[in-house]
């Protein structure tokens, strides 16, 4: 056999027949002339015939060439040419040692390895060599020397494994079982990756080949190098993965995102730059779609390494956060939700409601199907809001609450424990105790196993009432044993309370990395989506969600589904063993622990080949280790393919062409002229002309239609709801807007003092007259010129337009609805101020009053205190030390002064303005004036001097509401001291 490139000739002596082609040319170039047709005349005409000598005519050159090519094809077919001849597959005289890397990296191009195996076994069969088959995957055995037929049967069952090869173990087997012979014809089909033992393995194979054998190593080409899909090491808001190649770029491809049923959800391209081996892939998908992704895989790479399984840790939760303070944080580092948002943003979809109203904000978050809600410094929820949250909790939601000054008053019923009123301060000049560090987490806590930094301590907390028995759990404690994090089951969900604030006010825990890990563990308790249903029935929707806490609490994770070498997810094989829960992130896939899902039910964990930080090292130059005589190349081996049948078919085709040509030349196809004559050409021209005419007619008709339609449109434009343009169209009148819009326009363009209508005409009129009198005083004495006071229907009207709201409290006032209470609560928390006036002579004016408590007792009221001597309210415009109205002696209550810098920063979000002022001195009656500016009600006991002080108190309250803590700045201290000296 001789070879010509990739073609081998099994019978080269037949090619001598090509030497006869010149003789064939000489023989075939002559063609006898066509016989002459002569009509046989009568005998008398024979004498007129003359004998002429005719010479043969030459055949056309193309016909001669056609016949020579036909002869050449027949000669080549008889020589038995073969494509991909087996010339170097198993060079050497000894038995064939066929070594195959059948790890995960060989699966993507397994067909190439099968073809190389088939080619090697075919040559071994022709040469009668025994075959030894060795697979390098861990756990594979070494076959006994056998004939090529039985080796072929064994090779048929050879398949890639979902883990890396163990070449070192196979090298030991080869030495122990085959070391007594050193003349093997070794063929090593590598996967192109160096696992750290390739040089030693190549040296072992070279020793088995010896000096009389041969060693050939096949490795994948650059474009066929294995690809590994792993996790991204960055914390991004999108789903990310990393593609690693065993060869330098450039290289590109596509990563697919699939559901558990292999349904495609998205694709993301990747491109490995030239000289690089890695590329990041990012999927920008909505959260609802992202959480349905069960696996990522590289398209076209059918291997276990090209698949990344996703468990509950990769699925994102939607977390809603609500704060009891204003959103306008001048100092975000001290905001109640700053650290919560920063801690969860890299791992969850954190959303904040648009509504400032807590009740409406809760409904908005429920409509967005959040799985976790965080409430910071909201001491008391309205009953209706509590009912909504309880229904949401029963469906599996997780409610995380943080303490704060508002919760020091006892909180509400939606807490895991009953709280004692007042807080506990640790450290400081007025405390005997020091700040407490955290104690180690219990084994039953979801925080178990987390490292506690030494510098984390707690300076202030709310305390659980030990006298009230509950079924709550303590997940974290201080060193003295007091609870720091408590939790309780609510249906299928959890209520979790941090007994500290969400910022650094009461503890530096939110500043630590431990805070991030604690929140992640708590958020993982919930399914990825909560839906309370349309009919009020609580339902849990967790598309592919995993119970992270349950997985953490498992001691061993049993195999559920595992990947095969081609990346197909199948039931776990019998030899797969459970994995200790603590080792799931560090264990390497092996026959006992193949990649796949481990755990039980929803509490499963994914074991992947691609780990964070994983890399592929390409197979290096093995010439030194394998010896200079070794042959190293690519996967060029293919099964031999005989070309004789294709050459015979080509010869048959040329023979048919020759017959057709002879018929034409001999005149046997005279119908050719009739079909190809002038009539045919005329018919063709006629058809083309007809087609051109039809096309022109169609164009004319179409253009005419369009022109006609345009002319019709210009003459009579289509009717529709087109806006009429006139001179008055730009003016807004009462007929153009709704009453609610007109109310908003009137209230926002000019500052109004507003009062709450009680339904009692006399009380409402007194409130109107009182605010009207105060407005006149403000106009006369200050730069503020308020318009006429506005009466407010607290149930219907919007409160956001009014900076100050005067609310007379009647003794028979009915409790407000939950929706109204929620609106009032949002108004106060977003910067509005309400003056509650109980109008009770000699009353203290505190929230403990029965009518006032019945009216707003369900509100989330902050701690209150009598106006301190240094309060801004005492110097907002006038210097005052008391605030009389029609009555004198009642106490004016405001929000308690902040205790720490962080609390003062939070109060600074509303310019330090108290959200409510409570009095019993009947301000409106003291301010009430008629049209002639004459007082309408007497003041007791100070007379007109007391009325003047009441007006001054009103001016200070309004200035305080509008300018905030402006007068608290140090720049005003000299002027104030000078006035006090006068």
Give residue 372's pLDDT.
94
Residues 318-331, mean pLDDT to the nearest whole number: 68
Higher model confidence: residue 199 or residue 6? 199
Give residue 910's pLDDT.
46
The answer to the question of residue 435 being in a domain is yes
Instruction: Evaluate if residue 889 carries a pLDDT over 60.
Output: yes
Task: Indicate if 629 and 746 belong to the same structural domain.
Answer: no
Higher model confidence: residue 700 or residue 99? 99
We report the CATH number of the domain holding residue 751 as 3.40.50.12140
Give residue 672's pLDDT.
43
Task: Indicate if 848 and 974 belong to the same structural domain.
Answer: yes
Strands 790-792 and 641-642: unpaired
Instruction: Evaluate if residue 296 carries a pLDDT over 90.
Output: yes
- Last residue of some domain: 517, 541, 565? 541
Query: Model confidence over 237-280: pLDDT tens digits?
Result: 568 889 999 998 899 999 999 988 888 989 999 999 998 999 99
934 Cα distance to chain centroid: 69
d(CA 53, CA 57): 13
The answer to the question of residue 954 being in a domain is yes
Higher model confidence: residue 748 or residue 430? 748
Give residue 678's pLDDT.
44
Higher model confidence: residue 276 or residue 427? 276
Instruction: Evaluate if residue 313 carries a pLDDT over 70.
Output: yes
461 — phi, psi (to 5°)?
-160, 165
Instruction: Evaluate if residue 344 carries a pLDDT over 80.
Output: yes
Higher model confidence: residue 551 or residue 511? 511
Higher model confidence: residue 857 or residue 95? 95
Give residue 818's pLDDT.
85
Give residue 542's pLDDT.
45
Task: Indicate if 848 and 754 belong to the same structural domain.
Answer: yes
Task: Indicate if 392 and 493 belong to the same structural domain.
Answer: yes
The answer to the question of residue 257 being in a domain is no
The answer to the question of residue 325 being in a domain is yes
Task: Indicate if 192 and 341 belong to the same structural domain.
Answer: no
Name the least confident of 228-242, 458-472, 813-827, 894-908: 894-908
Give residue 447's pLDDT.
92
Task: Indicate if 909 and 794 belong to the same structural domain.
Answer: yes
Higher model confidence: residue 532 or residue 585? 585
Instruction: Evaluate if residue 465 carries a pLDDT over 80.
Output: yes
Instruction: Evaluate if residue 868 carries a pLDDT over 60.
Output: yes
Q: Which of 796, 804, 801, 747 is nearest to 775 (CA)?
A: 804
The answer to the question of residue 415 being in a domain is yes
Higher model confidence: residue 458 or residue 965? 458
Higher model confidence: residue 144 or residue 42? 144
Instruction: Evaluate if residue 900 carries a pLDDT over 80.
Output: no
The answer to the question of residue 463 being in a domain is yes
48 has which bridge partners? Answer: none
pLDDT more than 70, % of the chain = 75
Instruction: Evaluate if residue 692 carries a pLDDT over 60.
Output: no
Region label for 777, one of left (φ > 0), alpha (ψ between -120 and 50) or beta (otherwise): alpha
Region label for 845, one of left (φ > 0), alpha (ψ between -120 and 50) or beta (otherwise): left
Q: Which of 345, 340, 342, 348 is nearest to 315 (CA)?
A: 348
Query: Model confidence over 652-662: pLDDT tens digits?
Result: 888 888 788 77
Task: Indicate if 891 and 762 belong to the same structural domain.
Answer: yes
- Last residue of some domain: 541, 574, 595? 541
Instruction: Evaluate if residue 551 carries a pLDDT over 70.
Output: no
495: confidence class by pLDDT, cuts 50, 70, 90: very high
Name the least confident of 541-555, 611-625, 758-772: 541-555
Give residue 790's pLDDT.
92
Range of the domain at 107: 96-224+617-634
Q: Which of 955, 953, 950 is nearest to 936 (CA)?
A: 950
371 has which bridge partners? Answer: none
The answer to the question of residue 87 being in a domain is no
Give residue 611's pLDDT.
83
d(CA 484, CA 610): 39
Residues 545-554, mean pLDDT to the nearest whole number: 46
d(CA 681, CA 688): 11
Give residue 674's pLDDT.
42
Structure-token match 């002339």, residue found: 33
Mean of pLDDT over the chain: 79
The answer to the question of residue 815 being in a domain is yes
Strands 348-351 and 804-808: unpaired
Task: Indicate if 626 and 531 belong to the same structural domain.
Answer: no
Give residue 839's pLDDT.
86
Task: Indicate if 627 and 500 belong to the same structural domain.
Answer: no
- Last residue of some domain: 477, 511, 541? 541
Number of separate domains in the chain: 3
Instruction: Evaluate if residue 348 carries a pLDDT over 90.
Output: no
Task: Indicate if 207 and 327 belong to the same structural domain.
Answer: no
Task: Report which DSSP code applies to 889.
Answer: S
Give residue 724's pLDDT.
40
Give residue 211's pLDDT.
79
Query: Model confidence over 563-590: pLDDT tens digits?
Result: 999 999 999 999 999 998 888 888 999 9
| Cα dihedral 642→224→594→552 (10° resolution) | -160
Give residue 972's pLDDT.
54
We report the CATH number of the domain holding residue 151 as 3.40.50.410
Task: Indicate if 537 and 628 belong to the same structural domain.
Answer: no
Query: Model confidence over 357-366: pLDDT tens digits?
Result: 888 899 999 9
Task: Indicate if 787 and 929 belong to the same structural domain.
Answer: yes
Residues 733-738, mean pLDDT to the nearest whole number: 57
We report the CATH number of the domain holding residue 414 as 3.40.50.880
Name the least confident of 140-144, 578-582, 703-707, 910-914: 703-707
Give residue 719's pLDDT.
38
Give residue 718's pLDDT.
39
Instruction: Evaluate if residue 772 carries a pLDDT over 50.
Output: yes
Instruction: Evaluate if residue 711 carries a pLDDT over 50.
Output: no
Measured CA distances, 660 to 648, 654, 657, 665 (Å):
19, 10, 5, 9
């Amino acid at each position: 056999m001789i070879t010509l490139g990739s073609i081998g000739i099994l019978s080269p002596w037949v090619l001598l027949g090509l030497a006869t082609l010149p003789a064939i040319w000489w023989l075939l170039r002559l063609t006898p002339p066509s016989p002459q047709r002569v009509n046989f005349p009568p005998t008398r005409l024979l004498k007129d015939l003359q004998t002429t000598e005719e010479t043969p005519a030459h055949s056309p050159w193309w016909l001669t060439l056609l016949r020579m090519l036909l002869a050449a094809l027949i000669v080549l077919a008889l020589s038995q040419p073969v494509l991909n001849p087996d010339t170097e597959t198993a060079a050497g005289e000894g038995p064939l040692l066929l070594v195959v890397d059948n790890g995960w990296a060989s699966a993507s191009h397994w067909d190439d390895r099968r073809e190389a195996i088939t080619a090697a076994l075919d040559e071994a069969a022709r040469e009668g060599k025994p075959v030894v088959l060795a697979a390098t995957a861990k756990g594979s055995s070494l076959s006994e020397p056998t004939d090529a037929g039985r080796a072929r049967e064994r090779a048929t069952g050879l398949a890639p494994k979902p883990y890396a090869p163990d070449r070192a173990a196979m090298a030991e087997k080869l030495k122990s079982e085959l070391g007594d012979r050193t003349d093997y014809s070794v063929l090593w089909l590598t996967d192109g990756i160096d696992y750290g033992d390739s040089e030693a393995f190549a040296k072992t194979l070279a020793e088995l080949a010896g000096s009389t054998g041969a060693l050939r190593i096949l490795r994948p080409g650059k474009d066929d190098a294995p690809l590994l899909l792993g996790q991204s090491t960055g914390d991004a808001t999108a789903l990310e993965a990393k593609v690693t190649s065993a060869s330098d770029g450039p290289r590109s491809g596509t990563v697919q995102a699939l559901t558990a049923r292999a349904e495609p959800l998205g694709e993301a391209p990747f491109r490995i730059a030239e000289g690089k081996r890695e590329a990041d892939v990012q999927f920008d998908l909505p959260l609802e779609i992202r959480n349905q992704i069960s696996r990522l895989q590289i398209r076209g790479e059918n291997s276990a390494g090209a698949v990344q399984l996703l468990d509950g840790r990769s699925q994102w939760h939607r977390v809603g956060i609500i704060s009891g303070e204003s959103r306008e944080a001048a100092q975000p580092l001290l905001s109640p939700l700053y650290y919560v948002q920063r801690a969860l943003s890299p791992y969850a979809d954190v959303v904040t409601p648009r509504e400032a109203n807590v009740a409406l904000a809760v409904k908005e978050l429920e409509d967005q199907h959040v799985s976790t809600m965080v409430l910071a410094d909201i001491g008391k929820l309205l009953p209706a809001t509590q009912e909504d949250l309880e229904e949401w909790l029963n469906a599996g939601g997780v409610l995380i609450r943080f303490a704060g000054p508002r919760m020091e008053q006892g909180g509400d019923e939606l807490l895991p424990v009953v709280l004692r009123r007042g807080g506990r301060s640790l450290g400081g000049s007025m405390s005997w105790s020091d700040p407490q560090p955290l104690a180690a987490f219990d084994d039953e806590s979801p925080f178990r196993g987390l490292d506690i930094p030494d510098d984390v301590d707690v300076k202030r907390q709310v305390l659980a009432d030990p006298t009230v028995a509950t079924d709550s759990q303590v997940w974290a404690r201080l060193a003295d044993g007091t609870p720091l994090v408590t939790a309780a089951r609510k249906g299928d969900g959890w209520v979790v309370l941090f007994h500290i604030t969400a910022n650094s006010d009461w503890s530096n825990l939110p500043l630590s990395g431990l805070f991030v890990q604690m929140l992640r563990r708590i958020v993982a308790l919930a399914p990825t989506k909560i839906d309370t249903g349309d009919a009020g029935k609580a339902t849990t929707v967790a598309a592919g969600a995993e119970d992270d806490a349950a997985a953490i609490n498992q001691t061993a994770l049993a195999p559920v589904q595992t990947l095969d070498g081609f990346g197909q997810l199948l039931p776990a094989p019998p030899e797969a063993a459970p994995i200790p829960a603590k080792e799931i992130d560090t264990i390497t896939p092996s026959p006992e622990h193949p990649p796949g899902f481990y755990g039980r039910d929803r509490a499963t964990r994914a074991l992947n080949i691609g780990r964070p930080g994983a890399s592929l090292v390409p197979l290096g130059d093995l010439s030194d280790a394998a010896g200079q005589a070794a042959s190293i190349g690519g996967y060029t081996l293919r099964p031999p393919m005989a070309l004789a049948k294709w050459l015979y078919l080509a010869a048959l085709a040329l023979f048919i062409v020759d017959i057709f040509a002879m018929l034409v030349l001999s005149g046997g196809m005279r119908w050719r002229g009739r079909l190809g004559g002038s009539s045919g050409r005329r018919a063709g021209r006629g058809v083309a002309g007809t087609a051109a005419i039809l096309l022109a007619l169609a164009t004319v008709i179409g253009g005419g239609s369009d022109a006609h339609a345009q002319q019709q449109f210009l003459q009579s434009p289509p009717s529709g709801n087109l806006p009429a343009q006139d001179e008055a169209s730009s003016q807004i009148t009462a007929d153009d807007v709704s009453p609610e819009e007109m109310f908003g326009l009137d209230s926002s363009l000019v500052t109004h003092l507003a009062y709450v209508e009680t339904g009692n005409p006399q009380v409402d009129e007194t409130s109107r007259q009182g605010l009207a009198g105060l407005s006149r005083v403000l106009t006369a004495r200050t730069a503020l010129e308020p318009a006429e006071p506005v009466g407010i229907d607290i149930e219907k009207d919007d409160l956001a337009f009014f900076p100050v709201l005067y609310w007379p409290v009647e003794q028979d006032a009915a409790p407000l609805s939950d929706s109204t209470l929620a609106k009032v609560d949002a108004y106060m928390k977003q910067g509005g101020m309400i003056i509650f006036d109980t109008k009770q002579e000699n009353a203290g004016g505190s929230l403990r009053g029965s009518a006032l408590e019945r009216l707003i007792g369900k509100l989330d009221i902050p701690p209150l205190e009598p106006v301190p001597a240094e309060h801004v309210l005492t110097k907002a415009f006038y210097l005052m030390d008391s605030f009389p109205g029609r009555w004198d002696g009642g106490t004016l209550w405001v929000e308690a002064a902040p205790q720490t810098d962080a609390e003062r920063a939070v109060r600074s979000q509303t310019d330090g303005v108290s959200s409510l002022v409570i009095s019993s001195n009947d301000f409106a009656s003291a301010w009430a004036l008629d049209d002639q500016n004459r007082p309408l009600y007497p003041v007791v006991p100070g007379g007109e001097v007391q009325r003047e002080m009441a007006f001054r108190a009103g001016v200070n309250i309004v200035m305080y509401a509008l300018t905030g803590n402006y007068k608290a700045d140090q720049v005003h201290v000299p002027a104030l001291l000078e006035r006090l000296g006068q």
